[in-house]
Chains A and B, each alone.
Chain A
Amino acid sequence: MLNVEGLHAAVGDRPILRGVELTLRPGEVHALMGPNGSGKSTLVHVLAGRPGYRVTAGRATLDGVDLLAMEPEQRAGAGVFLGFQHPVEIPGVSQQLFLKTALNALRRRRGEAELDASDCRERILRATRSIGLEESILSRSVNAGFSGGEKKQNELLQMATLTPRLALLDEMDSGLDIDALARVSQGIQALRGPDRAILLVTHHQRMLDWVVPDRVHVMIEGRIVLSGGSDLARELERRGYGWLMEEAA
């Protein structure tokens, strides 16, 4: 499904990714771990097409289609979803309107008929309930005045509404208390599916107690230096990254 080969990327003049190799198959959840500044967030932003992130070498394909040649909105149309670590606020735009606009934009892109207001509403309501959010969140402005936990859950609401093939979730566990972490983790667990691949960027092992990954990768200085099963996350929790960084150096 997702194939990343020899990916190098720079932000400005600074090289960040230095040859990333990664394969995700449908139904799999992979965790991407590593110390601060190792390039985890850069990888998911590069895959989503963030302007200013320059690919200098390598390939990334989704179901054989070249992702890197596409505009961000085209990648979204191809089924790529990025859950933001810091979701932006859009004052005055209701969540309902934003979700409806996005849903229909994606449907147009895929050559599907747009949904009318009541079908949209129905689908958005179902997604809202599946994430464990109150319906009232739909009449608020996008992310405006949301708590940290609400912002993360709201990313999952968008994911549940837009039903992507590939979800790249960037540090969905950052800045959450234990209860919020449980809610967000359960939300992600509920969004697992046989046709969907999920890449979880995380610093901590805690989330992985709820969302048990099929594979765990460790990124250091822009390369994946070690991959393993879910046990690897626990080992990292115990030993830290120091030993791996020494090996990498």
Chain B
Amino acid sequence: MNPEPAVASALSRSYKHGFVTAIQADTLPEGLDEGVIRRISDKKGEPEWMLVWRLAAYRHWLGMTEPRWSSVRYPAIDYQAISYYSSPFADARTPVSLAEVDPKLLATYEKLGIPLDERLSLAGVAVDAVFDSVSVATTHQKMLAQKGIIFCSMSEAVREHGELVRHHLGTVVPSGDNFFAALNAAVFSDGTFCYIPPGVRCPMELSTYFRINAARTGQFERTLIIADRDSYVSYLEGCTAPMRDNHQLHAAVVELVALEGAEIQYATVQNWYPGDEEGRGGIYNFVTKRGVCRGARSRISWTQVETGSAITWKYPSVILLGEGSEGRFNSVAVTHHHQQADTGTKMIHLGANTRSSILSKGISAGHGHNAYRGLVKINAAADHARNHSRCDSLLLGGSCSAHTYPYIEVKNASARVEHEATTSRIGEDQLFYARQRGLLAEEAVALIVHGFCAEVLRELPMEFAVEARKLLAVTLEGSVG
């Protein structure tokens, strides 16, 4: 009667990106100290100010402890057992043309469906490809540069656009913000930098594709996007990693800055290796993402589809400073087998007439553990601020769990804050109904889940919505018999 026995005997799930690329790598030995940070900085040919910033973050980090307030559980991480830098290039300082890049690397991205040859790439999408600790290639840079748009790896930005980076780096997520953000600030190796000049509407989707390849290596990338006055950019990140028995750490930082009238849409399709059905291996995804609507009428939206990782710990947030600015958070998080997710957002209303909306869809199957954790804070000066939050949870089987932790702090009487939450179960009734019409149980689950997530998937650029829908179906394979 209950789909649960079928859930318990779930088939092994197919993770299609679990291959390893055999490639010579320049990898630092495991362990972390000031010497390691100096070597990373030196390998990247960074200016002195950057090294000073890193070292300050490292010293701060030494005095911090790992956060324990979230609902995720994992054994202690040995930070001396991780390598903090691995590059497929012998010398990361010299940018290489695509012709010089190892064909194995290009083949890797093609296999992942992300061709780096501009002639083959997805129409209307520019890609920055990050492989372990470095950016391999960035496409369409010349075309974007004609509009004054800077789209490059963070390493290149630090070297070529130092003042712009220095002016904004750490202004949204300070280097001492939290344990993982401090670690990132000390050792970040690459990531993406975007700057959209005033009044420019970025003509293509900008994206970064993160790939972890090396074993026992952490990936610590840092992304900074600045949308100047009245500009617009839509940005997407994708992530995959090989299947390995041990856990790997991914601790990224993303900072978004929207000036007056600007709009940033940031979307993530996260498919890090989730571990096997026994919970062996998988990525620990401990990420700090935050945007600031600095100018009036600016807008930032986060849309995320989180299907991978053994543990997901992330709260993409928006600080609503500019008057009439708007923040949105749309999320689908799936946990299957022994995956854990503690994810949500913070909407910090500082300016008057600021608005925010939160739409969270959590799906749990197997022994998955899924928590929404969100803060809506309305400060005293934020007159007539509005928030609407909705958190829906969907359960498959009886061994998984869903939790909702909404925190609401209101210091202004004119605020209007609404919160709704629902929990439902894919029941035998729904499955039987769809099967009676000829659908296989798996097809029925995929259809029901698709319906459950439809409002969020609609927020994704079209190609990625299709990808995300397939990914959801694959992730839940074997969740019913």
Instruction: Identify the A interface with B (CB < 8 A).
Output: 48-52, 71-73, 75-77, 81-82, 84, 87-88, 90-93, 97-98, 101-102, 105-106, 109, 141-142, 158, 162
Judge whether B439 and A90 touch: CB under 8 Å: no
A84 to B434, CA, bound (A): 12
| Contact partners of B427 in chain A: CB under 8 A | 88
Known pairs A51-B428, A105-B440. 4 more at Cβ < 8 A? Answer: A72-B436, A88-B427, A92-B452, A101-B443
Q: How far is the CA of A48 from the CA of B438 in the complex (A)?
A: 11
Check B437 for interface membership: any CB of A closer than 8 A.
yes
Tell whether A51 pairs with B447 under 8 Å between CB atoms, given A105-B440, A106-B438.
Answer: no
CB distance from A158 to the nearest CB of B (A): 7
Q: Which of B429, B439, B454 makes the CB contact (< 8 A) with A88? A: B429
Interface residues of B in 345-359 (CB under 8 A from A): none
Number of interface residues of B (CB under 8 A): 24
Q: List 9 A-B contacts (CB under 8 A).
A: A49-B436, A76-B436, A90-B451, A92-B452, A98-B447, A101-B443, A102-B434, A105-B437, A158-B437
- Does A73 lie within 8 Å of B439, measured CB to CB? yes
Scoring B432, B436, B440 by chain A CB atoms within 10 A of each residue's CB, the highest score goes to B436
The answer to whether B452 touches A162, judged by C-beta atoms less than 8 angstroms apart, is no
Complexed CA–CA distance, A71 and B6 (Å): 15
For B443, the chain A residues whose CB sits under 8 A away are 101, 105
Contact check, B439 vs A101: say whether CB atoms are below 8 A apart: yes
Q: For the complex formed, measure the closest distance between the CB of A174 and the CB atoms of chain B, giving whole angstroms.
A: 17
Cα of A71 to Cα of B444 in the assembled complex, Å = 14
A109 and B437 alpha carbons, distance in the complex (Å): 11
> Is B448 a contact partner of A72 (Cβ separation < 8 A)?
no
Q: Which of A49, A51, A91, A102 contacts B437 (CB 8 A)?
A: A102
Which one, B428, B434, B441, B455, contacts A92 given CB within 8 A? B455
Chain A contacts for B433, CB-based, 8 A: 84, 87-88, 90
Q: Does B453 belong to the interface (CB within 8 Å)?
A: yes
CB distance from B155 to the nearest CB of A (A): 42
Q: A109 — which chain B residues lie within 8 A by C-beta?
A: 438
Q: Are B440 and A92 in contact (CB under 8 A)?
A: no
Q: Report if B1 contacts A (CB, 8 A).
A: yes
Q: Taking the complex as formed, is B14 at the interface, i.e. its CB lies under 8 A from any CB of chain A?
A: no
**Distance to closest chain A CB from B111 (angstroms):** 29
Question: Is B59's beta carbon under 8 Å from chain A?
Answer: no
What's the Cα separation between A76 and B441 when bound, in Å?
13
Q: Given A93-B450, A98-B447, A101-B447, are A88 and B435 also a contact pair (CB < 8 Å)?
A: no
Q: Which residue of B lies closest to A86 (CB)?
A: B429
Query: Contacts A92-B454, A98-B447, A141-B451; is A71 near B428 (CB within 8 Å)?
Result: no
Is B70 located at the chain interface by the 8 A CB criterion? no
B80 sits at the interface (CB 8 A): no
From known contacts A51-B428, A52-B428, A88-B433, infer whether A105 and B452 are also in contact, taking CB-CB under 8 Å.
no
1/0 per position for B128-153, CB-CB distance to A under 8 A? Answer: 00000000000000000000000000
B1 with A52: CB separation less than 8 A: yes
* Residue of B450, B451, B453 with most partner-chain A CB within 10 A: B451
Question: Which residues of the other chain, A, contact B434 by a CB distance below 8 angstroms?
Answer: 90, 98, 102
Complex: A218 Cα to B45 Cα, angstroms: 89
B residues in contact with A106, CB < 8 Å: 437-438
What residues of chain B have their CB less than 8 Å away from a CB belonging to chain A? 1, 427-430, 432-441, 443, 447-448, 450-455
- Report Cα–Cα, A102/B438, bound state, in Å: 6
Given the complex of chains A and B, what is the CA–CA distance between A102 and B434 in angstroms?
Answer: 8
Q: Which residue of A has the minimal Cβ distance to B422?
A: A91
Specify which of B430, B435, B451, B453 is in contact with A72 (CB 8 Å cutoff): B435
Report yes or no: B447 in contact with A82, Cβ–Cβ below 8 A: no
A105 and B439 form a contact (CB under 8 A) = yes
Residue on A with the closest CB to B452? A92
The 6 A-B residue pairs with the shortest CB-CB distance in the complex, in nearest-first order: A92-B451, A93-B451, A52-B1, A102-B437, A92-B454, A106-B438
B435 and A73: CB pair below 8 A?
A: yes
In the bound complex, residues from chain A placing their C-beta under 8 Å from that of B450 are 92-93
Q: How far apart are B435's CB and chain A's nearest CB, in angstroms?
A: 4
CB <8 Å contact, A76 and B435: yes
Question: Are A91 and B432 also in contact (CB < 8 A) when A73-B439, A101-B439, A162-B437 are?
Answer: no
Chain B residues within 8 Å of A77, by CB:
438
Which residues from chain B contact A87 at a C-beta distance below 8 Å? Answer: 433
Whether A102 contacts B429 by the Cβ 8 Å rule is no
Which residue of chain B lies nearest to A161 when distances are taken between CB atoms in the complex?
Answer: B437
Complex Cα spacing A127 to B434, Å: 19
Q: In whole Å, how far is B6's beta carbon from the nearest beta carbon of chain A?
A: 10
When distances are taken between beta carbons in the complex, the residues of chain A under 8 Å from B438 are: 73, 76-77, 102, 105-106, 109, 162
**A93–B1 Cα gap in the complex (Å)?**
24
Set of chain A residues within 8 Å of B435, measured between Cβ atoms: 49, 71-73, 76
Q: List chain B residues, Cβ under 8 A from A90.
A: 430, 433-434, 447-448, 451
Contact of A48 among B430, B436, B441, B447 (CB under 8 A): B436
**What is the CB-to-nearest-CB distance from B114 to chain A, in angstroms, rounded to a whole number?**
28
- In the complex, which of the residues B435, B447, B454 has the most CB atoms of chain A within 10 Å of its own CB atom? B435
Q: What separation, in Å, do the CA atoms of A71 and B437 have in the docked complex? A: 12
Bound-state CA distance A162–B438 (Å) is: 10
- Which residue of chain A lies nearest to B443 when distances are taken between CB atoms in the complex? A105
